[in-house]
A and B are shown apart, each in its own frame.
Chain A
Amino acid sequence: MNAKDALAVVHAARDAQDVVITTMTPARDWMTMPQSSLDMVLVPSAMSHATSMGLGVALAQPDRRVIVCNGDGSMLMNLGSLVSIVSADASNVIVIVFDNGTYEVTGSQPVPGAGATDFAMIARGAGFQTVLDFDSLDAWRDGIADALNKNGPTFAVLHVEPVVGLPGPRSPGPAGDRARRFMAALQR
């Protein structure tokens, strides 16, 4: 599955009131699509913390869905956040991991356990209510409604092809200014 095509499925399916947090490769690709004031492009980031920031937003805004588009390398760095999400009973969190087996933004070095780590099993073990696993774009198109609407918290892993040679994401502007705009959008 092509990662950008898979991300476009998310873009098309998200509700106008949903928060979407992207980081690393998903952030780079998300910025090529039309933007919403409820998008949080987490660049710059403390690598791996999109899920943690998503948990915080979800607890503060329990009536919104918070969709976190994460990389596999980032997920590996913060696996404990999956347990924290479940522990907090954050049923409005949807974690989508784009699993390409590489640290793509640093030049496509393999992540530990590339091709062997079962993220879906890890999410089940953490206690996620709904866990989904997709190998093809067609299956993802058919399954995203489940990912967005089944009992959460929800975890979906998308097995995507690595892309070699593209640069990592660039910040779309001063983060402090974007934080203030995002906060204002969440209060509307």
Chain B
Amino acid sequence: MFSGDQISGLFEQLGITHVVTVPDSTVGQWQTAIEQRGNTRVVRVCREGEAWQVAAGLMLGGARPIVLIQCTGLFESGDALRNAVHDWKLPIFSMIGYRSYLNQDTLPGDTCLVFTEPVLDAWKIDYKLITSPSQFPTLAEHYETCRAANRAGAILIAEGKA
């Protein structure tokens, strides 16, 4: 969908200081470019629940983090998200890989298609779904909109494989 150079440039443009991440086969491909550009630090965590709370700590400390995970990790990290975003009112932004959205060749019948968007709705996360490279400008627009409104937001990146 997007190259590492596009994403690392976007993060630089948005002033993102830290990307807290557990990779998948799509969003994980961006790590090298992000690190090579050098403006945004990659923070690797062991499970996605950690990512939300590390991002919360970064935000409390004055940094501008983003959480970068797959939708399966979103499912894992519900309580951490709930606490950071809704208890502590921290408007954490995330980019979430949407497994199997473009095709189900790897995982026919993948239930990520059933649960991802309802889970984001349940957690009251304002998200935009990106299904085409032509929607690249939406990433920055949605980030800036959520930032201006001081609310958590997410970009769902359609993926085609696990």
From B43, B44, B61, name the one whose CB has the most chain A CB atoms within 10 angstroms: B61
B87 at the interface (CB under 8 A from A): yes
A residues in contact with B87, CB < 8 Å: 44, 175-176
- Interface segment out of the listed B77-85, B122-130, B140-148: B77-85
A residues in contact with B88, CB < 8 Å: 175-176, 178-179
A61 at the interface (CB under 8 A from B): yes
- Interface segment out of the listed B2-10, B50-58, B110-118, B131-139: B50-58
B62 at the interface (CB under 8 A from A): yes
Q: Which of B46, B53, B63, B89 contacts A179 (CB 8 A)?
A: B89
What DSSP secondary structure best describes chain A's contact surface? helix
Classify chain A: how many residues form its interface, as a range.
20 to 34
B151 at the interface (CB under 8 A from A): no
Contact A56 B62 (CB under 8 A): no
Q: What separation, in Å, do the CA atoms of A186 and B60 have in the docked complex?
A: 8
Q: Which of B18, B82, B90 contacts A59 (CB 8 A)?
A: B18
Contact B57 A46 (CB under 8 A): no
Contact B60 A52 (CB under 8 A): no
Contact B89 A176 (CB under 8 A): yes
B65 at the interface (CB under 8 A from A): yes
Contact B79 A183 (CB under 8 A): no
A residues in contact with B58, CB < 8 Å: 56-57, 59-60
B120 at the interface (CB under 8 A from A): no
Contact B62 A80 (CB under 8 A): no
A residues in contact with B59, CB < 8 Å: 56, 60, 183
Contact A80 B47 (CB under 8 A): yes
B161 at the interface (CB under 8 A from A): no
Q: What separation, in Å, do the CA atoms of A40 and B62 have in the docked complex?
A: 15
**B18 nearest in chain A by CB position:** A59
A residues in contact with B43, CB < 8 Å: 55, 59, 84, 88
B residues in contact with A57, CB < 8 Å: 57-58, 60-61
Q: What separation, in Å, do the CA atoms of A46 and B79 have in the docked complex?
A: 6
B23 at the interface (CB under 8 A from A): no
Q: A57-B61, A88-B43, A183-B60 are in contact. Are A46 and B53 (CB under 8 A)?
A: yes
Contact B60 A56 (CB under 8 A): yes
Contact A53 B46 (CB under 8 A): no
Q: What separation, in Å, do the CA atoms of A56 and B66 have in the docked complex?
A: 12
- 6 interchain pairs, CB-CB under 8 A: A56-B56, A57-B57, A61-B61, A61-B62, A80-B45, A183-B60
Beyond A57-B60, A60-B59, 20 additional contacts (C-beta under 8 Å) are: A45-B83, A46-B49, A49-B53, A49-B80, A52-B53, A53-B53, A54-B57, A55-B43, A56-B20, A56-B61, A57-B61, A60-B62, A78-B49, A81-B46, A84-B46, A175-B89, A179-B90, A182-B60, A183-B61, A186-B60
